[in-house]
Amino acid sequence: MKAIAFLFPGQGSQSVGMGKDVFEEYDVVKERFKAAETITGLPISTLCFEGPMAALTETVNLQPAVTTVNLAFLEILRREGVKPRVSAGHSLGEFSALCAAGVVSEEDTLRMVFRRGELMHREATLHKGAMSAVIGLSIDAVRDLVAQVTEGVVTVANHNAEKQIVITGSPDAVKKAGEMAAAQGGKAIPLKVSGAWHSRLIQGAEAEFRDFLGTVVFHPPESPVIHNVTADRTADPDEIRNLMAAQLCSPVRWYESVLRLMTENVTVFVEVGPGKVLTGLVKKILPKAYPCEIYNVNDMKSLEVFLKAAA
């Protein structure tokens, strides 16, 4: 049987209308959305299906909304008998990966991302932040650049592909690092975000989030999860809880995580949830000679394509 990896997207993959066609098709998806609205008190279905985009993109709304869509597609795949050999998620998406692996319940997954969104929104309001994608430079070159910026805060947020790295921090420091990257032959693209995610500017949320995670039951994984902070797996529930707290202000090691999935002999990569960000990154990261199949499951059509291939 082919080794399947489920990959779950996070912030940046949202779009108005996400999940609508499977919501109309599956009662179990309607149940997932209803449960999410009960847990969060938010109009999740309205945000997902009607927007507006500005409201959907607010992190306090976005985190439970994207997670609800992720979990809806996960439940469909489960009922179709498709299970992952291993899972991973990008930042916010890692919480869905934990659910896929049986580490946490769906209810607790939604509780965690809702609280995470609230805390991150609060810190972003207190500390103005910015993020930029740096294209064309190595991770070592970008680390050297940010280390040279002495005023303000700037650090690596995401190592998304070999030479696609996101930096995060205070606006002037991020701008300065971007200019330095351009001078070295790279390209810096400002991102539309509401905070300096994965930087110490939101560190004020970490202790409270860690305390909140202490109210959640974490189980040993039924299948491995490759974690953002370590680009590795662990079977220890307490260690997983600590990693999810540390993840708030730590870099997302996505490039290394995908390479780690290769060592798990994964041959089928499935992005489960809205958008195509992660499959795009996987195609950039994997060697051209690596034998694999890559799928999105983000609407009825792509779901049918994958289920037919997996049969």
End-to-end Cα distance, the chain: 11
Is 223 part of the annotated catalytic residue set? no
Spot the catalytic one: 91, 132, 199, 257.
Answer: 91
Is 91 part of the annotated catalytic residue set? yes
Find where tokens 């797996």 sit: 233
Sign of the four-CA dihedral 166, 167, 168, 172: negative
User: How far apart are alpha carbons 100 and 106 in whole angstroms?
Assistant: 9
Question: In the numeric block, which tokens belong to residue 27?
Answer: 């009662």
Spot the catalytic one: 13, 198, 227, 250.
Answer: 198
Task: Please return the burial class of 211, using the count of CB atoms within 10 Å of its CB with bins 0-12, 13-18 and 19+.
Answer: exposed
* 3-state class (DSSP) for residue 120: helix
Question: In the numeric block, which tokens belong to residue 220?
Answer: 């040993």
Nearest to 90 by CA among 201, 227, 288, 206: 227
Which of the residues are catalytic? 91, 198
